[in-house]
Each structure stands twice: as C-alpha cells, then as structure tokens.
Amino acid sequence: MITKKINLTAKAGKEGELENLLKMMVMESKPEAGCVSYELYQQKESLADFFLIEIWETAEQLEEHKATAHFAKFKELAPELIEAKSSEELNSFL
C-alpha cells in the first residue's frame, strides 16, 4: 500500500476555486483501479489550508493515476490557485 498526504494552501481569494478543483479530483480518482481511499480535508482554523489522504494498492497504480486526464487538468489549473504544496508518504497499517 502507498499512502500519501498532500498539503495545499490556496492563494488568497482562491479558496473556493481550489476546493472545487480538489472535490473534482476526489470524485474522479476514487473509481480508479487501485484506489483504496482518496479523501479531502480542510483545516478548521484556516480555510485556505487543505489536505488529501490518498491510499493506493501499488506504486504502479499511483503512477497510472498521475497519467489521467483529471490529474492533467489539476496540474494545469493548480498554479493559479495554490500558494504552497507539499507531500509526504506515510506508513500504512491496513
């Protein structure tokens, strides 16, 4: 299992647009082969801060996810909406 946490901070005034883009990513990614879980969260204290927790069965399936049309759309639109982004791989105990 591959578990990733993706941290995203929206640019000022772009919080709603980023939220919509991330919701689209969740909706499009969950049915993909190998997607165990793909969840979106928003910080209560800072509405500009979001994070995704995604769990994939294999690294190959995660790479296939990165080759999808919706991932390409995310990469195209993200620079206009995201102030900061980081990711980390987590140990999974599933």
Provide the 3-class DSSP secondary structure of residue 22: helix
Pick the CATH number of 2-90 from 3.30.70.100, 3.30.420.40, 3.40.50.300, 3.40.1440.60: 3.30.70.100
Widest Cα–Cα separation across the chain: 38
In angstroms, the CA 14 to CA 34 distance is: 31
Model pLDDT for residues 35-78, shown as the tens digit of each residue: 999 999 999 999 999 999 999 999 999 999 999 999 999 999 99
In angstroms, the CA 84 to CA 11 distance is: 8
Q: Tokens 């995310």, residue?
A: 74
pTM comes to: 0.91
In angstroms, the CA 74 to CA 52 distance is: 13
* Whether the predicted pLDDT of 94 surpasses 70: no
Q: What would you report as the CA-atom Rg of the chain, rounded to the nearest whole angstrom?
A: 13
